[in-house]
Amino acid sequence: MGAGHTSSAAPGSMRRFHAARWDEPVIFELSVPGARGVLPPRPDREVPELTPDERVPEAIRRRIPPALPELSQQAVLRHYLRLSQETLGADVNIDVGQGTCTMKYSPKVNEQLARSPRLAELHPLQDERTVQGILEVMYRLDLLLREISGMDAFTLQPGSGSQAIFAAAAMLRAWHASRGEFPARDEIVTTIFSHPSDAAAAHVAGFRIVTLRPGPNGYPELEELRAVLGPRTAGLFITNPEDTGIFNPRIAEFTAAVHEAGGLCVYDQANANGLLGITRAREAGFDACFFNLHKTFSTPHGSGGPACGALGVRAHLAPFLPSPVVTFDGTAYHLERDRPDSIGKVRTWYGVPEVHLRAYAWIMSLGAAGLRSVAESAVLANNYLLERVRRIRGVAVPWPDRRRLEQVRYSLELGNGWPTSASTTGPATTPGSCRSPSRWSRPSRTRPASSTSTRPPSSAWPRRRTRTRSACEPRRTRAWYTGTTTARWTTRHGGR
């Protein structure tokens, strides 16, 4: 979508954009007693009118009516349209991203499929004989993900990547317990630049966390891993490439070392755009892996949901998969619940079928060659952007000599390379430094001890100087404080 975008702005320049700004209250504050958006028709004469006491059992009857907002249709429409005008998304501005999430275009035909009444109006308590269509989609998606990853079985039940990691940790615990090795094996090894959920979910599942730091190549050294392995090692939870975007080419040696120590290996493939059709978890030696269908397989990342962390495992872990799983007996599809070794459920029902359908449609439309093309395009586009962005003064990239796959972590070093006066020139930032922009701070404005006033005198406040934006820089507001090494950067969106 981005490649075909055209704009009247000059090439390489930032387009002017001003989002609407509404002082919009929450919908409950717009409520007007008695206002109605829909007037339901009165029941037919054949339908007896029942009092609330007759319709609802006393044990679950409300004592106080729910505090629902009362609005007209026009008021509801205006409210949500105003909110939508204040929202940026992939369909409005391709310059919007969400951290490490792979925010690619989702074909609208998949949205039409997911919103079809034939799917949207299904109920999870329906007899499985009446939902054979979506069960077939789930089963076929399972088979496709097995081919993509090399795993032997999948569950589509987890509702997020973190939930998939927790399920994997629970399965590792159950597997070790079945061998009489838990709680003796109670340590999970991960890396500092793997997704934080790898450590957090494993800890919630009852494991101690051992964290490895990166070496000179941007990923931990094999010797560092061997040094922490032992009889307490339960497994390795790792992202590759890590959040730096650097791929560890020795990953098969990592998994082999963990297996030698008696542990299992789980591959966090939440961001798999740069791997599809090129590498597989099985050949890298992993016992389990998961994909975020809401990142890699068409479903937009909807600020936390709906989502699916599709978790795949090798045959020795398959008996421990969450229950139920979709099976096929040659005639019909079933939800198999008789699984004595299962860890049970990790969420209600069987995941989010709309996400499953989008992923199935996306994979089928691309085919094997198309999936590989996705990975090749993602890596090419990311490294092209890397070379362009790193030319911006003040931008730092950790391990700058290392090639990335589908993502890069950038730091904007305003205090090291940006001027602290009105000058428009300054040295480039130090390569390799990696300070998080979220930790920028402005100079302290504490009151001098000698002052008795309730407000500090003007001399105690840092003197602010501004400079004019050059033609090649983004349209942003900058302010430097004299005598400090930390600068304040304020981004303007439509005058906010």
Domain boundaries, the chain: 26-86, 118-367, 410-442+461-496
- Residue with the two structure tokens 């998961």: 290
Question: What is the model's pLDDT at position 472?
Answer: 35
Contacts of 300 (CB under 8 A, 6+ apart): 89, 90, 103, 106, 294
Contact 495, 21 (CB under 8 A): yes
Phi, psi of 394 (to 5 degrees): 95, -10
Rounded to whole angstroms, the Cα distance separating 103 from 97 reads 6
The strands making up 264-269's β-sheet, listed across from edge to edge, are: 153-155, 309-313, 288-292, 264-269, 233-239, 187-191, 208-212
Closest C-alpha to 244, from 436, 408, 411, 432: 408
Contact 184, 175 (CB under 8 A): no
Question: What is the model's pLDDT at position 243?
Answer: 85
Contact 478, 489 (CB under 8 A): yes
- Residue with the two structure tokens 């979508």: 1
113's tokens: 């499929």
Helix (H, G, I), strand (E, B) or coil at 293: coil
Question: What is the model's pLDDT at position 38?
Answer: 86
Question: What is the model's pLDDT at position 480?
Answer: 28
Local structure of residue 451 (DSSP, 8 states)? -
Side chain identity, residue 457: P
Question: What is the model's pLDDT at position 43?
Answer: 72
Helix (H, G, I), strand (E, B) or coil at 212: strand
Question: What is the model's pLDDT at position 16?
Answer: 73
Which residue stretches of the chain have pLDDT < 70? Answer: 1-15, 17, 47-54, 88-104, 301-305, 415-496
Contacts of 445 (CB under 8 A, 6+ apart): 456, 460, 461, 462
For 118-367, the fitting CATH number among 3.65.10.10, 3.40.640.10, 1.10.230.10, 2.130.10.30 is 3.40.640.10
What CA dihedral angle connects 167, 171, 173 and 176, to 10 degrees? -170
Q: Give this prediction's pTM.
A: 0.72
Question: How many residues are given for the chain?
Answer: 496
Residue by residue, DSSP assigns 117-131 as HHHHT--TTS-GGG-
